[in-house]
Structure 1
Amino acid sequence: MSVRPASVGSYLRAAAPDRLPEVVADHLRTWFPVKAVELLLSDLTLSALWPVMEPEAPAGGPLEQRCFGSQQPVTDNGSRRLLLPLTTWGDRLGVLRLDLTDTLTSELAAEITNIADELALALRAADKDTDRYRQVVRRQRLTMAAELQWDLLPGRSLSGERFRLAGQLDPAYAMFGDHYDWALTDDRLTLTVLNGHGDGIEAALLTTIAVNAMRNARRSGAGIVEQAELASDAIYSRSGGAAHVATLLLEVDLAGGTIEAVDAGSPRALIAREGGITAVSLEQQLPLGMFGDSRYETQKVQLEPGDRLLVVSDGVHAATPGGRAPYGETGLLTALRRTRLQPPSEAVGTVIRALREYHDGDDQEDDAVIVCLDWLHGKA
């Protein structure tokens, strides 16, 4: 008599990176009361979930979207359909949809949830070695600038015991240099929002240089001052001061809530606290790359448990479509108030959708970044 394997992980590690959905589907149909399996991945705009195994099938419907948005299992059809979120370290990838031949039990749900978790981890690792999953989530061709910037992103959300974090970039398929980066080590979260000067491929190249210079310094143990100075030197050596990268660098102490900040340009920070939203007042320093041997200083900001920190690029706060007033002076606070009960992964999408509505059919003249951080430490 065959014995069910304790884990699907060994099969996933042995599989070709582009065959992970089929490996999981075969495993589920062999060992569980499962008759049909589909993997759905979120597109770049986080607005739809698209099937991987039957790519010609329609996008996921309301149940799939509810599972993705809530990050909770969803059942339907008399508990004969199960939808499970696919998430790694808080980064939402998609949904695993199963049709069962038997009624779902709590024990069965727990076992299949473990399999979904292993699949999510394997998908994230495999993404470096196959284009299959990226071809699904791209609904049109990216510009070369967008290709550079999507490859540069750390992810779209991240979470831990002390925090929840998410970022979104828009428009997804054509970009002009706005970007974000983050890294977590111990209780230190480094967060950067930046905007390369100009547009198209030149702006993306400047952003690429800045991000990689800051990563190089950070991975060598440098703080955000040295990160800023190394990136500024690298940009200046390329452009001689003719181009720059406006940047806000933040290092968050997740244990105590203290933020060290280097404000080198146009990204703006706000804090939502107990129903109110206030701008973070920082002394602005020169954008990276304007002069050789630029030097930077840090400023401090203190978070309180339960605070939400929001950082927006100038493509958000300074947007003036059709000659309207800057979005940061009118619609931004209204949009942010709508996000009060949403997790960061949903809040960033709410703000981006409101920004699109503000454009009222006009093309965006600049790309837009919003990053949302909830600091949970000490919150009951």
Structure 2
Amino acid sequence: MSLDDRATTDHGVRPEEHFPESATERSAMLGALISASHFSTLEQLPERLNEEAARVGLTDITVYLVDLQQDLFTPLVPHPPPAGGTGLRHGEFRVEGTVAGRAFQHGEVLPAGPGDHDHWWVPLVDGTDRLGVMRITAPDADEAAQLDMRRLAALVALMIVSKRGLSDSYSRLVRRRRMDVATEMEWRLMPSRTFATDSLMISALMEPAYQVSGDVYDYAFDGRIAQLSLFDAMGHDTAAGVTANLALSTARNARREGSDLASTAAAVEEVLVEQFSGDRFVTGILAELDVTTGELDWLNCGHPHLVVVRGRSPVHLDGPTAPPIGAGLGHPDTLCHKQLEPGDRLLLYTDGVTEARNPEGEEFGLQRFIDFLLRHQADELPVPETLRRLIRHHLAYHKGQLRDDATVVLAEWHGAAGLPEEETKDKVGIPDMPETQPAEE
């Protein structure tokens, strides 16, 4: 049954009054939603969304945002209370073990249950960054209706991202606990957790999400060169957060001014020494990957060595290690180099991943870290989902209590030719969206 052929909607409206007769009606719905968004707040989005989507037979829509640790879904409602307290808030439910969670994890549109084809879960993805899911009522939705849902979800995701920076409601909704000042600064500074093109995919995660002290990551991509950086500031206080923020901002500024890796490291060294007189420093990795050739260059400044996962085997990228940046011990001038192969996964991580100990005093260890990635590689899960499960496993190993920041950045190079579009979507977990509307019966 197509959108135009249904007998009635949930509100008893005849299809000729409520459902579109052509692609023009669908375009009008999306256009009206875009127009309404210009002067709308994030808090007004659910109401405007339901008003316009009803024009194509998509009703009773609820937007659910995933929390910062990607454990829970919470409905987008206006004026939520500040984070804190215990237990689930009204309308919240968990990612694990739910149909909505599977839609989120795999990037698929799914019916709400085996016998329920009236209600649907649709993932919300901005580019490649997973935001949550939408629950949509669309009785007996056919292929055309499901495409409408995907397109609507893509637009809603863009709208959420455009509005969330000015909405305290968003921050309150995606937080489960109070966040310290250092972490507030760092989440505001860092780029989104996932980015992808046909030739390159980058995904990152950081814990503890509410009490990070000195870990920050950054990346940028101009279509040819991918810039990757990861810093770990000394200490576990607000001063560590300030140091990490200053290091990342200085590196970003130097990079945008055209500095190479060595000059960027020198700029960070100069700023930190000037500010802290050698009393505060960061360890770090600064790297460049040419996606047209697979050539990787990097500087290691007192940081754990890079690792490449190649097929089913790790390749440890040892090389010269310079002193930490900001300690006043000089800056690095020796580049390391490695030729990557298509399919290689480059891992940048902080020592909070490998050196953290559980209550029994056992380290998580680099080998356990790599083994986890290798095991889940065979599951063919989207890369962001693999990292989400890695962090969950890491937290469980430490009984939920981390004594140091744990940050992972994974960059997968697909080769100069890149991957077919559908394979790239599968790797990231993006809902399939054909360019043409299926013919209606």
The bucket for the TM-score relative to the shorter chain is over 0.9
Q: Distance in 1 between matches of 2:92 and 2:332?
A: 53
Cα distance in structure 2, aligned partners of 1:268 and 1:322: 26
Structure 1 residue 34: Cα displacement: 2.9
Query: How many Å apart are 1:86 and its aligned residue?
Result: 1.2
What's the counterpart of residue 21 of structure 1? 46
Q: How is 1:247-258 mapped onto 2 (pairs within 5 angstroms)?
A: 247-258=284-295
Q: Which moved more, 1:336-345 or 1:186-195?
A: 336-345
CA deviation digits over 1:94-145, x for unaligned, max 9?
1111122x31011122122212111111111112211121111001110111
Structure 1 segment 181-330 matched on structure 2, within 5 A: 181-291=218-328, 294-322=331-359, 324-330=361-367
CA RMSD of aligned residues (A): 2.1
Q: Deviations over 1:28-74 (max 9, x none)?
A: 12x02233111111111111221113872122561111111101211
- Deviation (angstroms), 1:215: 1.0
| Count of residues in Structure 1 that have an aligned counterpart in Structure 2 | 377
The answer to whether the 8 Å contact 1:49/1:60 transfers is yes
Structure 2 length normalisation: TM-score? 0.80
1:337 maps onto 2:410 in alignment:
no
Question: Contact conserved, 1:331 with 1:358, CA < 8 A, in 2?
Answer: no
- Give the secondary-structure state (helix, strand or coil) at the position aligned to 2:154: helix
Question: 8 Å contact 1:344–1:373 — kept in the other structure?
Answer: no
Q: Within 1, Cα distance between the matches of 2:398 and 2:285? A: 25
Q: Structure 1 residues 139-148 or 206-215, which shifts more?
A: 139-148
Q: 2:102 aligns with which of 66, 74, 95?
A: 66
Q: Name the SS of the counterpart of 2:389 in structure 1.
A: helix
The alignment-based identity, stated in percent, is 24
In the TM superposition, residue 165 of structure 1 has moved relative to its aligned partner by 1.5
Q: CA deviation at 1:368?
A: 0.4
For 1:94, which of 132, 135, 142 is the aligned residue? Answer: 132
Q: Residues 329 and 191 (structure 1 numbering): CA distance in 2 closer, same or farther, change over 3 Å?
A: closer
In structure 2, relative to structure 1, the CA distance for the partners of 1:311 and 1:278 (3 Å cut) is same
The equivalent position to 1:355 in structure 2, one of 388, 394, 403, is: 394
- 2:7 is matched with which residue? none
Distance in 1 (CA, whole Å) between partners of 2:46 and 2:286 is 38
- Equivalent residue for 1:85? 123
The one-letter amino acid of 2:103's match is C
Q: 1:321 Cα deviation (Å)?
A: 3.4
5+ residue gaps in structure 1?
A: none
Mapped pair 1:52 → 2:52: no
Which whole-Å CA distance do the structure 2 matches of 1:196 and 1:151 have between them?
17
Gapped regions of structure 2 (runs ≥ 5): 1-16, 19-23, 81-89, 420-441
Distance 2:350 2:332 in 1: 23
Does the Cα contact within 8 Å between 1:273 and 1:307 map onto a contact in 2?
yes
Larger radius of gyration: 2
Question: What code does the residue aligned with 2:382 have?
Answer: P
Asked whether the 8 Å contact 1:184–1:190 carries over to 2, the reply is: yes
Q: Which residue of 161, 174, 181 maps to 2:211?
A: 174
Cα distance 1:97–1:183, how it changes in 2: closer, same or farther (>3 A)?
A: same
User: Contact 1:51 / 1:59 at 8 angstroms: preserved in 2?
Assistant: no
Name the SS for the 1:39 alignment partner: strand
Equivalent residue, structure 2, for 1:368: 406
Q: Contact 2:29/2:53 (CA < 8 Å) preserved in 1?
A: no
Supply the distance in 2 between the matched residues of 1:305 and 1:220 (Cα, whole angstroms). 30
* Distance apart, 1:277 and its partner CA: 1.6
SS of the residue 1:212 aligns to: helix
CA distance in 2, matches of 1:103, 1:143: 47
Query: Are the counterparts in 2 of residues 246 and 266 from structure 1 also a CA contact under 8 Å?
Result: yes
Choose which of 62, 76, 94 in structure 2 pairs with 1:38: 62
Residues 320 and 334, structure 2, Cα contact 8 Å, conserved in 1: no
* Aligned residue identity for 2:390: V
CA–CA distance in structure 2, aligned partners of residues 6 and 43 of structure 1: 29
The Cα of 1:319 is off from its aligned counterpart by: 1.6
1:209 Cα deviation after fit:
0.2
Contact 1:38/1:53 (<8 A) preserved: no
The SS at the match of 2:93 is: coil
CA distance in 1: counterparts of 2:223 and 2:371, whole angstroms: 35
How many angstroms apart in 2 are the aligned matches of 1:9 and 1:267? 46
Q: Report the alpha carbon displacement of residue 201 of structure 1 after superposing the two structures with TM.
A: 0.2
Aligned to 2:12: none
SS of the residue corresponding to residue 408 of structure 2 reads: strand
Matched residue, 1:123: 160
Q: Which residue of 2 aligns with 1:149?
A: 186
The secondary structure found in structure 2 opposite 1:277 is strand
**1:111 and 2:135 equivalent?**
no
Output the CA distance in 2 between the equivalents of 1:274 and 1:141.
41
Tell me by how many angstroms 1:249 deviates.
Answer: 1.0
Distance in 1 (CA, whole Å) between partners of 2:71 and 2:42 is 26
